[in-house]
Structure formats: C-alpha cells, structure tokens
Chain A
Amino acid sequence: MTMQAASTEIASRTAAIIDEMKGLEGPLLPILHSIQEEFGHVPKDALPVIADGLNLSRAEVHGVVSFYHDFRAKPAGRHVLKLCQAEACQSMGSEAVAAKVKQLLGIDFHETARDGSVTLEPVYCLGLCACSPSAMLDGEVIGRLDDEKIEEIVAEVRS
C-alpha cells in the first residue's frame, strides 16, 4: 500500500513539474533536472507521466534519461563527492587522490557508503584546471587537494 501511495505521490508531483515547464522549447532536459531536484533522483514511476505529458513514448524518455551521466536511477548519499579525473588533474596526481579517498571512505567510484553518508563519483573536468587536483563536494568547489584537504572532506561527509 505504501508503495502505491508513493508512486501516486511521484506521479502528481511529476505532473505539476511538467505543467509548469512544458511551454519551454525543448522541455525534456529542464523537466528531468527539476524532477531530480525534487526527488534526488529520477524515479522510474515518473517516466510514464513524462511520456504522457510530452506525447513521447516511454522508450524515448528512458533513452534520454539513461543517456546522460547526471540523472540517477536511485537517490545519492547525503553528500555527493566528485573527484576530477581528467588530464590536468592527472598531471597533478588525481589518481593517488582518488585512491586515498576510496580507501578512507571504503567505497569505489559510483558507490554510496553503506550508512548513506556519501556517494563518490569521478568527474571529467570542473574547469579548475589551473588549481588541480580538484573536487566538488555538494556543489562547492575545492582546488589543490592535498592530504590535509582530503582528510577535512572525509571528516565533513562522515559527520
């Protein structure tokens, strides 16, 4: 019963978002961003509602959602830590940074800690290439990562 209630709830909140945004030219990406903001991920139950609202097939909507790295199928941890692994950061030891963070958090890339505290993800460039290696924690940017900053980040996501 609760599952059903949840899915009705998702459908109605999704429908409200679609109503608000369907007048945009090319509304699908803005709608998906709003849905992810609302629920923390793009719930499966939202897809048929979007398909209906925009007169698309469910397959088309699924195709778009699954194409983009940003859209999550399930909620992330309370914190999201993204470590840049692109070339400029590689030249400043981003691989060692990633290894250290993974070890301290006990998780790999694309995983969420078992206590739900943090999701760890690689990112390919944050545009902080003259401040490498860099990271983004919950939307805040951090440059020139060193052991001290890594420990600060780990302490923050664990608290």
Chain B
Amino acid sequence: MIPRIYIPADSGALALGAEKVARAIEKELKERGVEAKIVRNGSRGAYFLEPMVEVATAEGRVAYGPVKPSDVKSLFDSGFLKGGHHKRWLGAPDKIPFFAKQTRLTFARCGINDPLSLDAYKSLGGLRGLQNAVAIAPADIVKQVTESGLRGRGGAGFPTGIKWKTVLDTAGAQKYIVCNADEGDSATFADRMIMEGDPFVLIEGMAIAGIATGATKGFVYIRSEYPHAVATMNKAVAIARKAGVLGLNVLGSPNAFDMEIRVGAGAYVCGEETSLLNSLEGKRGVVRAKPPLPAIQGLFGKPTVINNVISLASVPVIMDKGAAYYKDFGMGRSRGTIPIQIAGNVRNGGLFETAFGLTLGEIVDEIGGGTASGRPVKAVQVGGPLGAYFPRALFDTPFDYEEFAKRDGLIGHAGITVFDDTADMMKQARFAMEFCAIESCGKCTPCRIGSTRGVEVLDKVAAGIEAEKNLALVTDLCNTMKFGSLCALGGFTPYPVMSSITHFPEDFKPAPARVAAE
C-alpha cells in the first residue's frame, strides 16, 4: 500500500505555513525516490498544533505538529511514514487531549479527509441524514429538528425547528433556504472551518431544510474575506449536483433542491439576517424592520429559512441519529453541542466542540491553557465584537444561552477572545463604539449617531474631562442604543462597552499623570 500523508489546506493551517510544508514534503519524497500519496485535508481545529501533518499507518493515523519546513528532512529520517518517533510526534490524533476531550457531532468529519471527496464523506456517515429525510413527510423532519432542541448557532439562539415550521406552514410558489455564512465576528471561525473542511455536511443540511419546508432553492452568502471557503463550497456544490445530491431529484427522490454560492462585499452588518437578504437581492445591506419575519416574507418577499452555517450543518447528524441522541447532550434549554472557538491571546487556540455546560474558566484555563503571552488573563470577550467582556470573577459561568444572559452577556456564535493583563478596557470599549460607527448600516438613529457620540464621550472620559458625568452619559447612551436600535449591531454594542465599565472601573479613571501634565 502506498503511504498516505495528510497536510491540511485549511486557511488557518495555510496561514501558519502548511503550503511550504507540503512543498518540502513533495520535494523530499522525490529526492528520496519514495512513493506516497499526499491528501490535502481540512483542519481538525487545533491551531496551536498546525500545520499538523498526519500519516496513515497500519495502526491508524499518527500526527506530527506543528511541522515547519525545516522539520521535514528529519521527519523522513525518523521514519515518520511508519509513525516513527520525532520531536513533533503527537501520536494518534483522537488521543491528543485537545481532541479526546471533545464531543464531535457537527464537526465529526471535519479535517479528517479530503473535503471534496464525496466517497470519503459517505464512508464516515455522510448523507445518511438526507436519506432518512427524503423517506419521511416534511412535517416529520420539522418535528425531529424541533425535538432535538437545536437553536440558532449564529447567536440569536432561536429554535431552528420553529423557524422551519413557520416556513412550512406559509404558502408560497417559491421558498428559499438562505445560509448565513457572513461570519464577521472576531474570534469566530467555525463556519469557515466547516466550509473548508467538510462542505458536504452544509450542503446536506440545506437540502434537508429545503425538503422539510418546501423550498427548492438555496443560497449560501459567504463573506468575501473567506476566499478559500468560497472556492471549496463552489467545487463541492458542483460535485453534489453531479452526484444527484442536488438537482431535480435529490438522492433519486421526487424532491428538487439546488443551491448557489454568493459572495459578500465587506459589510459586517450583512451578518444580520434581514440586511443579508437585502444584500442577496442586490441592494444596500440595510436592516429591515421586523415584522414581517423572513420566514413569511424573506428573500424577494418569499417565505425564507435563514440559518447560520453551524445550525444547518448540525441537522444531518440529528436526522441520522435522531432528535433524542442530539438532545441528550447539553444543559437546561441549551441542547446538543456547540463548537467553541478559543482565540486571541491563548496558548491552545482552536475549535473545541462540546456539549453545553462547561464553565468559562474550564474553557479558558484548562482547555485553552491560559494566555499565549504567559501573563495573567484579564478579560475574555465572549460572542464577538458585540459580546460582553467577562472578568475572572465570572469564570464560573456555564456555557449556556440563558446563563450568559443572566450575567449580562451572550454566547453569540461561541467565539472567545482572551486578553492578558496588558489590555486597556477603556480602549476596548472605545473600539466597540468605533466599530459600530464604521459598520452601521445607517438606517436607525441610535446606532448611526449613538456610536459616533459614544466614541466622542469615551474620548472625553479618557482625557479626564468630567469623567464621572461623561461615564453616566455613556451609560445612558448605551441604554438608548440597546432598546432603540433596529438590530443587534446597535443593540448589542452596549454589551462590550457596559461590561468594560462595570467589571473594570479602574481602567476608566483618568490617568493621574495625564491630568497633571495638562
């Protein structure tokens, strides 16, 4: 048997030099006259080990990482094609603690094989969910998704099954499935990883959604900052179409479903569902007032399911193993698993899929291993630019939609950014307002004007001009933005701002040195 070498082509691995490693391995194979097949897989998500190279041996996969091009010669010398020992040796991938502790349902296949091999996809359980779905009535698919307890993984946490039921029950000659792949939140990369590492699971999830609701057309709206994901999804859709997974007869059934990949154009606000719909229609990405709900009047005014990538990619496992299996994981009203993305100043950064319920402290300290800089953790921002900053005092918060809400935070798309003690929380609060000002669509006043005024008032606080009075003004402004904005951009910008002020008041005191100098 020709040895197989797996080298990730995931963006994150590429950013860490995977291409150079691949070229060095090819060159070494040629020079040594050794025959081997190189497979470009996705990433399993441990970015502190990327580029992680794996070889298939008689005893199973053996991983090495992080591999540098300069390691390649010595890897061959150590007999790595047979799993030989080397300073980069990590052993069997699923025994590496970072992976062994995970519960992988949605990401079960991500990073294992060539993402564009439909055969490899099927060999690991792919398409079983869709096969089950075409065999039952649409209402039964919706029932199963509802019973699984799956909630929108984009951040809002709305029950997916209920959204689908509304679309199923709404009459329409044309209905749509829209996948929100405008993953603009800093600290999040789960959508990117699955689109690059297991694109067929998203296609399968969208086809199930289409059959469940009577929609025959789907769109995936991917942000332009993800060129690799766009390329992989385009190829995967073409392959799925050729194989009859998409088309007039999905898997040979009488159900028609096809889809297109669309690319965004650099507007953060288009991650908001109604703004995304406007953008898909070719308009400015301006937020729409709700009602009408997109489920009733969505894309081109037609009934539309709009779901996040991870919500849709979680459907195949539910349809394969059943609602009860999925629901069995998690806590409270947060059922199933969640791909937590551990990012920023952290030693073991990457994607960690697990049942809801781990505490923030367990995630940051035990799994993340503390900061990359080795300094104490000062704050972690959970849920992207619109999420709250949590101090160490709140590290006992369990990862759960309701528990985070109780502490004036949100889990959002489950990204966590770790900051060490050099972070200046006043600067972070100012950035939140500044970002909102740059990205506001301009439709509602609290967001459009409030964010700019927020930057100005925080600048006054920083300059020590009537600090107390101006902090009270920021609080008042945040209150207006929170309750007066049309969407989550203006409505949630107060989370990072107010949590910084509440939990880190010392950072908002005027610097004595600065005052003295003036």
Contact = CB atoms under 8 A, between A and B. Distances in A.
A15 interface: no
A128 B15 contact: yes
Given A91-B419, A141-B14, A128 B189 contact: yes
Nearest to B373: A92
B304 interface: no
B283 A87 contact: no
Interface string B372-399: 1000000001001100000000000000
B185 interface: yes
A134 B344 CA distance: 11
Interface stretch (A6-14, A29-37, A99-107): A29-37
B265 A33 contact: yes
A37 to B, nearest CB: 11
B431 A87 contact: yes
A123 B47 contact: no
Contacts of B264: 29, 68, 70
Q: Which residue among A33, A71, A92, A143 has the maximum number of chain B CB atoms within 10 Å of its CB? A: A92
Contacts of A92: 344-345, 372
A33 B349 CA distance: 34
A123 B225 contact: yes
Contacts of B14: 140-141
Given A29-B282, A32-B265, A92-B345, A127 B192 contact: yes
Given A26-B282, A64-B283, A68-B285, A127 B267 contact: no
Given A70-B266, A88-B186, A132-B343, A127 B11 contact: yes
B268 A130 contact: no
Interface in B403-420: 415, 417-420
Nearest to B385: A87
Interface in A3-53: 24-30, 32-33
Interface in B316-355: 341-346, 349-351
Contact of A143 (B15, B265, B346): B15
A119 to B, nearest CB: 14
A153 interface: no
Contacts of A71: 265
Contacts of B50: 131
Interface in B454-486: none
B417 A87 contact: yes
A68 B188 CA distance: 22
Contacts of B260: 24
A144 interface: yes
B186 A130 contact: no
A129 interface: yes
Nearest to A28: B282
A127 B226 contact: yes
A118 interface: no
B280 interface: yes
Contacts, number: 151
Contact of A129 (B227, B262, B417): B417
A130 B265 contact: no
Interface string A101-125: 0000000000000000000000111
A64 B219 CA distance: 20
Nearest to B283: A64
B369 to A, nearest CB: 12
Given A70-B265, A125-B225, A130-B48, A29 B11 contact: no
B421 to A, nearest CB: 11
Contacts of A64: 282-284
B281 A141 contact: no
Contacts of B267: 67-69
A125 B185 contact: yes
Given A129-B189, A139-B227, A142-B15, A27 B282 contact: yes
Nearest to A82: B225
Contact of B284 (A63, A70, A90): A63
Q: Which residue among B186, B262, B280, B428 has the maximum number of chain A CB atoms within 10 Å of its CB? A: B186
Interface in B161-218: 183-189, 191-192, 217
B263 interface: yes
Interface string B1-30: 000000000011011100000000000000
Contacts of B184: 124-125
Contacts of A81: none
A127 B225 contact: yes
A97 interface: no
A80 interface: no
24 contacts: A26-B280, A28-B283, A29-B282, A64-B284, A67-B285, A86-B385, A87-B344, A87-B417, A87-B431, A88-B415, A126-B225, A127-B192, A128-B12, A128-B15, A130-B189, A130-B342, A131-B12, A131-B47, A131-B50, A131-B349, A134-B15, A136-B225, A141-B12, A143-B15
Interface of A: 24-30, 32-33, 54, 63-64, 67-71, 86-92, 123-132, 134, 136, 139-144
Given A91-B418, A130-B12, 5 more contacts: A70-B224, A87-B187, A87-B344, A128-B11, A132-B345
